[in-house]
Structure 1
């Protein structure tokens, strides 16, 4: 494969791209299986922790006491993994993004163990960051042995695309994210030449996930009646407000991170973080726990089921929980919890002003919060759009993205440097 890869100085031909097909397919399938395996293991463990165990003890599954005990115990368990397991479960999660350089393969077991514990224990983080890091590490390690002359960047892009394709059940999200990456990366060939292998990996992973797990991001929101002037006004207000809440978390992260670092050690920091998450869960309710993908469907199924104040409380609590979980050292991603925040904010807007259609409120809330936390414009638009599965909302989302983007661009990101300062 290494000898047939396109050179750095000449555009690749169709024949030169053919050797990418098999490794791309393999990486995509493996990326999907890793995600599905970790998710299934976490779900089985979650059933034990949140159903079998409290039932056996005669404690309410959703009681405040059980939430506090479970989140504190989860923090202690993850802290012990970070301190004791070789590789310390990878780098500080506050310093990592969705796609980062590969970590050593020895880090992967501890990273996945810490991820399973956090997902099962109810921590407000998703699986995307650690699973992507694990798949990148495995792909680079195996790729280096199978084809030593192949650039590591190829394996990084294949593994990242495969994981993102598996997460969303479609290669479109991976293509959009990598388009932003490749658009500024020098190299021969067109954008589609650069996306050829990653799209194969994302397609294979998405298909594998769809065949096994059949994921769906459609929230079955009320049908939107069509474009209205009031929708445009609502979109121009809700998306920037959601982005502002996201930016509040961005600015709070360095301070929260610094406070947990003063505790001198992952066990104490994560235990304290778990206790705070348990208290927040008791305040916001059971729906504000976990990564939020299942919980957000409960919210969307009952758009008039809570008051505006309750929706606002859930959004703020979830945003605070996401920030604390990231700051204290839990391994996990921010996309899925952010979707919960956006949905709660959108439904809050609908509850405050019934003229705001709940679907418009939800998609614009999700768009704004994701723009603030990810700075990925295409990913934010795609995620917001698939929640409603209504192509007529795309023009509205594009308009809503503009003021939200003006609010977040050039400002600190939801990611820290090694010294604890926010990246820009």
Structure 2
């Protein structure tokens, strides 16, 4: 290797390390500001009647106004990743307005997660670094994404329980062969719920087609719909990251019917948000909906341990929507931090993936198009 190449390699490593640290720090700051905003806007006791409906409607209008003024440059998670695979870059000039739209969506209670912020933030920072160096744009954008996701993970780690798991479950105990059969069947159950998620998104997207470009009207519709759902089922607000802990603590007492209705409400609220103007990702909403269905299964069939039912249904649902086994399996396993759950998650994810691999949220010919 020539001295020039040695110097370039060293410079790339230094830039990559600094970029990853900066992206991780930026994501931690974004999440802290987000949760501070949520605490500011959402008091524990509603000060006026229909407070939830009022606030979500104001939020929808705020996001709609942001898109009207700055344009809609925030894609949904799968679209953003597909576009990156094609072009190898993000557009840094769209980042400030995009983060504002995502931030307003999240603090006003949109039933979506912040993972799109992580992808856009890290990818744009990496693209900017690559543009400045005039090479390695794709690699540096990837480094930026990894860095922001690490920051995401670090921040989530601060909210974990003493045992380390984001969602602790009773130990499974001995892994019986029958449990793997349960995992396969429940992976199909979760995949079926994922099909409903995709169908709801397609339905709501078609409903919004006549309002393309009318961001304020769509924002009002999005906020009103979310407010109605959240008035009936308050746990559908926000990403579901913290709300699923409540489901684990109170789900058995609530009963299977209430859990099934809650999961359905989360699916409808999340897909309605995605189809209107709210910006955010589907991962934590899918974790919430799939996990809630898993708790319902455990209530209906007590002979299936929660450590089998919850991660199996969750994995099947997420894999159906995201179609990324190499990403979904470790994510679901890591939120529970029980090594034996990895086997259950793998079996369920494989079953769900092959059963629904032809069911796409974004058909190949439309991938990469804007969310509208």
TM-score, normalisation: structure 2 = 0.88
RMSD: 2.8
Are the equivalent residues in 1 in contact too, given 2:121–2:145 (CA < 8 A)?
A: no
Deviation string 1:69-103 (CA, Å, 9 cap, x unpaired) is 11111100000001113xx2514538723464344
Give structure 1 stretches of 5+ with no counterpart. Answer: 7-14, 170-208
User: Where does residue 408 of structure 1 map in the other structure?
Assistant: 356
Instruction: Tell me which residue corresponds to 2:287.
Output: 339
- The count of aligned residue pairs is 361
Give the match for residue 342 of structure 2.
Answer: 394
The answer on whether the counterparts of 1:224 and 1:359 sit within 8 Å (CA) in structure 2 is yes
- Residue 93 of structure 1 corresponds to 76
> Is residue 163 of structure 1 aligned with residue 163 of structure 2?
no
Give the 5 Å matches for 1:93-172: 93=76, 96-98=79-81, 100-101=83-84, 102-145=89-132, 147-148=133-134, 150-169=135-154
Aligned match of 1:317: 265
**Alignment match, 1:206:** none
Instruction: Tell me the equivalent position of 2:64.
Output: 79
Shift of 1:268: 0.8
- 1:243 counterpart = 2:243: no
Structure 2 alignment gaps of length 5 or more? none
Deviation at 1:382, TM superposition (A): 0.9
Alpha-carbon distance between aligned partners in 2 of 1:320 and 1:210, rounded to the nearest angstrom: 26
User: What is the CA distance between 1:414 and its match in structure 2?
Assistant: 4.9
CA distance in 1, matches of 2:150, 2:202: 31
Aligned counterpart for 2:217 among listed residues 268, 271, 277: 268
The worse-fitting range, judged by mean Cα deviation, of 251-260 and 407-416 is 407-416
Structure 1 range deviating more: 76-85 or 379-388:
379-388
Equivalent residue number for residue 315 of structure 2: 367
Q: Distance in 2 between matches of 1:298 and 1:4?
A: 57
Instruction: Note the C-alpha offset of 1:126.
Output: 0.7
Over 3 Å counting, the alpha-carbon distance change for 1:337 and 1:355 in structure 2 is same
Alignment of 1:284-295 (within 5 A): 285-295=233-243
CA 1:394/1:134 → structure 2, altered by over 3 Å: closer, same or farther? closer
Contact 1:39–1:116 (8 Å) recurs in 2: no
Give the TM-score, by structure 1 length: 0.78
- Relative to structure 1, the CA distance from residue 231 to residue 94 in structure 2 (aligned partners, 3 Å threshold; closer, same or farther) is closer
Does structure 2 retain, via aligned residues, the 8 Å contact 1:95–1:418? no
Structure 1 ranges of 4+ moved more than 6 A: 419-423
Whether 1:308 aligns to 2:256 is: yes
